[in-house]
Every structure is written in C-alpha cells, then in structure tokens.
Structure 1
Amino acid sequence: MFKTEVCEILQIDYPILLAGMAGGPTTPELVAAVSNAGGLGTLGGAYLKPPALREAIQKIRQLTDKPFSVNLFSTDMNESSEGYLKVQEILNEFRRELGIPHSTEKPVVTDLFDEQFQVLLDEEVPIISTAFGLLPSVKMKAAKEAGMKVISMATTVEEGLMAQQQGVDIVVAQGSDAGGHRGTFDVDKYPNGANIGTFSLIPQMKHNLKIPVIAAGGVMNGQGLAASLLLGASGVQMGTRFLTSIESGAHPAYQKALLNSTEDQIVLTKSFSGRPAKGIQNKFIHDFEDSGTKPLPFPSQNSLTGDIRRAAATKENPDYMSLWAGQGIRLLKDGLSAKEIIEEILGEAVAAIKELST
C-alpha cells in the first residue's frame, strides 16, 4: 500500500525516513534499526570528526545490509567573533550555575565538510542528505559519479526548485512544525528561517516540483503519514518521534523533558547555535533572550555554547541543554524500539486510510 517513488529510488520498503539529527541522537544502532525495519536510517554526521564519522558508518554496516543515509551541513562555516565578549559575559552566568570555568575565548570554528564528504565517498555511502543548503557543484558531480542518491532539505518552493535544478533526487520539505534547526538556505534573507507550515508547504512543493517530495515537521504517527501522502508527499521524514526510541542516543534527561513537555513549550531560538532552531523552552533560552544580547552567527555561537551544553549533559541538567523537538511532542511514546515505532505508524496509516474510505 505504501510503495512510493521514494521507495524505488532509495530501495527501501516503506517511505519513512529518519531525520539526520546531529549531535548524538542518531546512533549507528538507531540508523540500522530504522533501515532494518524497512525505512531509511540517517546518521547525523555534521558534528562528527572524520575518523568518528568513518567509524560510525562502518558500525552501521556491521548492523545492517540495507540502504542508509548520512546527513551533512552544506553551508558556509565562517568564524564570526564580533561581540563575542558580550555573549561570553552572559554565558559565564550559566557557567557559574553549572560550576564550570568562565571563558573569554573567541569562538573556534573548524570546517570539516570536505573531509567528511571524502569519508562518504571512501566508504561508498549510498545516500547523502544535506541541510542548510545544496552540495557544491563539484561535490554534486562527485556524488553522482559515485552512484550516490542525493536528498536535500528545503523550506520553501524556491529552495525546492533550486535543489531540483541542481540534480537532487528527493527534496525533504521541512515545515515550520519541525524540531531542530531550520533548513533554510539563506538566513540573511530569512533571519528566523522560512517558517511555512508542513501541510501548507507539501502541496505547493508537489505542484511545482517534478522530483519526489518528503514531508517533514510534526509528523508523529500513521495519521500524519496518511495525510502527507494525500497531500502529495511521497513519504515522511521523522526526527522527534525517534528521540525516545530504545536505540536513541538522546540524553536521558533530554528524553525525560521530551516526554513531559507540550506543544506550547516549543519555541524558535538562535540562543544555542546562532541559527534558528525549534526546541523546548528552558532556562538557557529564556535567560539568554531576556538579556537582550544578540547571539553570534552560526557556527560561532554553537562553538561558544559547547562547553555549557556538555556540562549540562554531564550534570543531567536539562535547563542548559539544547532540547530540540517538533510541535507534535504530545504524541511521543516511551520504551518502543525503532522497529515497533515503524510498525505502529504503518498500522495507524492503514487504519486511517480505511476509515477515510468508508
């Protein structure tokens, strides 16, 4: 029933993709579990150093012989330190709360993209997905020559058309309901990211693009899958739903916060990384924004806040962790494996379509 064009392109059984959530949630175990269950597992590789990225890919291959994807950030990784001392002044208040050393250091930014991309080529990763922009033309050519399928996230029809023109195989239409970073290409043009609702974006993408469109943002169950398909999507990408799975690498305190939060607590913020992202409101976001201090651009702000986020994780303190989450958060469940989640979604989708047809 759910065999779509995306299934044929990616050689998967069901049009359900795991979002490439960087920073640890997408463990090799979770990636492999989603792929083994018939979906497409995606490793969030953007923050991994090349040796760690290679190790993770090899571990995935030990756990599955199914297709999987690796997601990278394709954007300028330029250092920006203007106003960093003012930012550090605010962050030092948080460091004091956490009992870690103060800092007046400038942000340190390392662009690993070229090396990461080479790892994907070396390891013959079958599918690459990008966030924040498209692959540079030289790398797009290399990916195609290597036989890779290319998936790119887009937040507007214009971005989707740019992806199609470049030769991308599948576009993930990221609606404003989605958790984590907005995938908007040009955050100078859209300082808070383009924020078009998922179910407004999907039919417009479908109407204007010739390549398959994947729905992302707020899709948490089978009803969401069915609705996405009815609106013209060829599948769904889900991140938040898998954060509380058995195989998830999300910190236990993060998972607890997810399970105890509601949709009205999800906010859009630049406080952690300098790039607009959606997550659960906490003390870090509230106090930083209340200070009136402007965060540095991404990735410099992300560099400055790294020690705080790591310390918060060590101390199991969600007040200072980046708790990325989408707006369908009330529909989360605890204690299910990725396989059980996918089976549940498929069952719900079948029931929803049957109910609609009666």
Structure 2
Amino acid sequence: MPLPSLSIGGLSARLPIIQGGMGVGVSLSGLASAVANAGGIGVIATPGIGWQEPDFKTDYVAANSRALRKQIRAAKDKTKGIIGVNIMVVLTNFAHLVRAAVEERIDIIFSGAGLPLNLPELVDAKSSTKLVPIISSARAAKILCRKWLSRYNRLPDAFVVEGPKAGGHLGFKPEHLDDEEYALERLIPEVVKIVAPFEQESGTKIPVIAAGGVYSGGDIRKFLDMGASGVQMGTRFVATDECDADPAFKQAFVDADEESLTIVKSPVGMPGRAIRNEFLDDVEDGAKIPFSCPFHCIQTCEHKDSPYCIALALLNARKGSMKHGLVFAGANAHRVKSIVPVAQLMESLQQEYELSRQPIEPLAQEESPVEAAHP
C-alpha cells in the first residue's frame, strides 16, 4: 500500500510528509520548493531570515519581513506545490512576519515555541492561509481549540505534535527528554483523542502530524497506525542537495555519531539538541563569545547575560563557519550517511513505508492523565 495523501484545510499534498522549518537560513525557498515538487509540504523558516538584507542590523523588522516576502515569491516561482512558513511565537517580530506571509498568500503558517493564542487575529478572515500550531502536549491542543473557538469561532487546521527527539529548541524540561511518559508514541494517541470531540462538533477534520525523531518510512507507518495523518521531518532534509545551508553544515550531519549529539542550554532558556563541535566545547569550558545585539530577536533571550548569541551562532553554522557555529540536529542525525537529492529521499521513504507492512503497536496506554475535551 503506497503512502496516503495529506489534507490540511482543503489543501492536499500527495505525500503525508512535511519538511520541518529550520533556521537560521537552513530551509528557505530552495529546499521548500524541492519538497513541494516531490509531493510533500515545503516549509520556509523565518528566524533571522533577513540576514542577507543590507539593513538587517539597522532595521531588523523591515529586513526580515522583506526577506520573507522574497523567499515566498521565489518558492512559488519554482513550484505549484504547497509551501508553508514556520513562525515562532517567541519572535519579537512575530506579528510582522505573520502579516507579511498572509499578504503573500502563503499556504500554511506553522507556529510553535509558545502557544499561538492570538494567531487568528493577525490573519484576515477572508485569507485562505491555513493555521497549524506546533505543540508538545494534548493539554496544549485542548487549550488552543477552546481559545480559538471562543475568541475567533475557528479551530486550528491541523496540529504538529513535536516530541523530545526533535532537533533544535525543545518544548520539554531537560529531565523529560528521555522519559517514556513524554515519548512521541504516547503524545500522538493523546492528541488524537483530545481533538476528536472538536472534530465531531465542527464536522471538520483536524489532522495530527507527528514530529521529532521521525526518520524512516517505517517510522511514518508507525505514527500513521497510531492515528496521525502525517509526519514532519527536519534532519533528513538537511542532508539533501537542495537544502539551503552550506555544504559544511550538511557534512556535519554525515560525520556525526551518536556520542556527538548533546543537549545544550540555549540563551533563550530552553534545552536544545545539537551536534557537539569546537564551538560548544568552548562554551562548555566557560568561554564567552563577544557579541553585540542590535536586535532583540527572541522575547525570552537574556542576551546581556548570555555566553553567545544564539542567532549569530546558528547563522555562522548555516554559512559553514563550524568553529563559530551551533548545529541543531535531531536525535537520529547520526544515522545520516550521505547527501542525496530531495526526490531520491522522498522515493526511498515511500519504498521503506511499503516494505514495513507489519503495523507497529503503540506503547501500552494507561488511563490518560489528560481529561477528555468538551467543546
């Protein structure tokens, strides 16, 4: 049986695969359009997207909004497929980026790193843009459904449920990252159960997308068997020809082993998963990387007390300056062995899915601690 399609608010992708948004500058129009052309949903990451604009340091908001518009237009020039953007709630220019994306008629806005409680009010009611929160618990799904219904008389068009094996910033406490109670295999059935009453009441499907540690076609089958409608994958798409990052960034994934993956304490106050390198060794040894912050890009960042600038560290890595860069990566990055075209990756995922015909049972479910939702 081939992979099923994925429908989000009337938009239909041939394959149920969403390419995760990866910043700074790792997933832009090049990667997003290639994924869309291959039948998935491509996603442009927005943090620091204006880094190539001449006024990036003098007019941060305008530079990023302008760059986002350029990237959306460039992606649309290359594909007729579905293109989304990932806009983090904690960005200080969150509202500006949302409005720019909507004005450019982006297909989907994915939004996490905080609950996007007010996202609908930033989007014109006549807009066709779909709104998809990224969450890490069934409780968050329930809160958003209730808030959006009461305030805006609408529901999310889908949910991306990101587990603790994801790369980059993680929506979990450090002690929960290896706790089976917070595993994605537990989260997916809980979120599916929570959204079901809202679906029934509204007569509208709310797809649940599994994210964080999804690596193979077998993983895709596993989560679809649990009730997910699709998956989001980030790490696999870094090691592709079309990924927008420097070749040295991609090679870091190929060279990584399991021991090199580590959890870091980010300046924004969240744990993050990254590939250990010279930069992280220096930070761990107490080095403070000198920097100035002409823009306060993330609301929760204590930049005055931070040993380094998270935005500049991510950007340096994206540019290939690995000695001065932070490389975020998922828990399965060590399994990456080569860099391939996006089309080849998508084909291999389909083949793996078809070969993994035996359904994988979810972890034994105890009585869910999450109370049932009542719209």
> Which category describes the TM-score, using the shorter chain as reference length?
0.7 to 0.9
Aligned equivalents of 2:317, 2:36: Cα separation in 1: 32
Shift of 1:252: 2.0
The ranges of structure 1 where at least 4 consecutive aligned residues each deviate by more than 6 angstroms after the TM superposition are none
Q: Find the partner of 1:320 among 311, 318, 324.
A: 324
With over 3 angstroms needed to count, the CA separation of the structure-2 counterparts of 1:143 and 1:231, relative to structure 1, is farther
Unaligned runs of 5+ in 1: 78-110, 185-189
Structure 1 distance, partners of 2:274, 2:314, is 14
Q: CA deviation at 1:218?
A: 1.1
Match of residue 357, structure 2, among 341, 353, 357: 353
Q: Which whole-Å CA distance do the structure 2 matches of 1:355 and 1:155 have between them?
A: 24
Change (3 A) 1:118 1:336: same
* 2:158 corresponds to 1:177: no
2:42 counterpart of 1:41: yes
How far did residue 144 of structure 1 move? Answer: 4.6
Is the contact made by 1:192 and 1:276 (CA closer than 8 Å) also made in structure 2? yes
What is the CA distance between 1:6 and its match in structure 2? 3.4
Contact 1:272 1:322 in 2 (8 A): no
Q: Deviations over 1:38-61 (max 9, x none)?
A: 110011113220111110000011
| Rounded Cα–Cα distance in structure 2 between residues aligned with 1:7 and 1:341 | 23
Identity of aligned residues (%): 26
Shift of 1:310: 5.0
Q: In structure 2, which of residues 182, 187, 194 is the aligned counterpart of residue 208 of structure 1?
A: 194
Aligned to 2:293: none
Q: Please name the residue that 1:282 is paired with.
A: 277
Aligned match for 2:84, one of 69, 80, 83:
69
- Cα offset for 1:163? 2.9
CA contact (8 A) 2:316 2:322 kept: no
Q: Distance in 2 between matches of 1:149 and 1:302?
A: 38
2:3 touches 2:354 (CA, 8 Å); kept in 1? no
Q: Distance in 2 between matches of 1:303 and 1:217?
A: 26
What does residue range 11-26 of structure 1 map to in structure 2 within 5 Å? Answer: 11-26=12-27
Contact 2:5 2:13 in 1 (8 A): no
What TM-score, normalized by structure 2, do the two folds share?
A: 0.75
Which structure shows the bigger proportion of residues in helix conformation? 1
- Provide the rounded CA distance (Å) in 2 between the counterparts of 1:299 and 1:333: 37
1:132 aligns with 2:113: yes
Q: Mapping of 1:74-93 within 5 angstroms?
A: 74-75=89-90, 77=91
Question: What is the aligned partner in structure 1 of residue 334 from structure 2?
Answer: 330
In structure 2, relative to structure 1, the CA distance for the partners of 1:117 and 1:303 (3 Å cut) is: farther
Amino acid at match of 1:304: C
Please tell me whether the aligned partners of residues 273 and 302 of structure 1 are also in contact (alpha carbons under 8 angstroms). Answer: no
- Aligned counterpart, 1:145: 126
Q: Residue 187 of structure 2 aligns to a residue in which SS?
A: helix
* Counterpart in the other structure of 1:103: none
Write the deviation string for residues 94-122 of structure 1: whole angstroms up to 9, x where unpaired.
xxxxxxxxxxxxxxxxx322221221121
**Cα pair 1:155 1:194 within 8 Å, conserved:** no
Q: Identify which of 52, 68, 74 aligns with 1:59.
A: 74
2:183 counterpart of 1:197: yes
Distance of 1:243 and 1:13 partners within structure 2? 21
Aligned to 2:96: 115
Go from structure 1 to structure 2 and tell me whether the alpha carbon gap of 1:311 and 1:121 turns closer, same or farther (over 3 Å shift).
closer
Cα distance 1:144–1:46, how it changes in 2: closer, same or farther (>3 A)? farther
| Separation (CA, whole Å) in 1 of partners of 2:6 and 2:311 | 40
Q: Once the 2 structures are TM-superposed, how far is the Cα of residue 247 of structure 1 from its aligned partner?
A: 0.4
Query: How many Å apart are 1:265 and its aligned residue?
Result: 2.4
Taking the aligned partners of 1:35 and 1:317, their CA distance within structure 2 comes to 29
Which of the residues 265, 272, 276 maps onto 1:270?
265
The equivalent residue for 2:229 is: 234
CA contact 1:23–1:47 (8 Å) conserved in 2:
yes
CA deviations over 1:236-255 (Å, ceiling 9, x no partner): 00000000100002222221
The residue correspondences of 1:214-225 to structure 2 (distance < 5 A) are: 214-225=209-220
Q: State the SS of the aligned residue for 2:356.
A: helix
Q: What does residue 309 of structure 2 align with?
A: 304
Distance 1:194 1:6, change over 3 A: farther
**Structure 2: distance between partners of 1:355 and 1:200:** 16
Displacement of 1:313: 6.2
Aligned length: 313
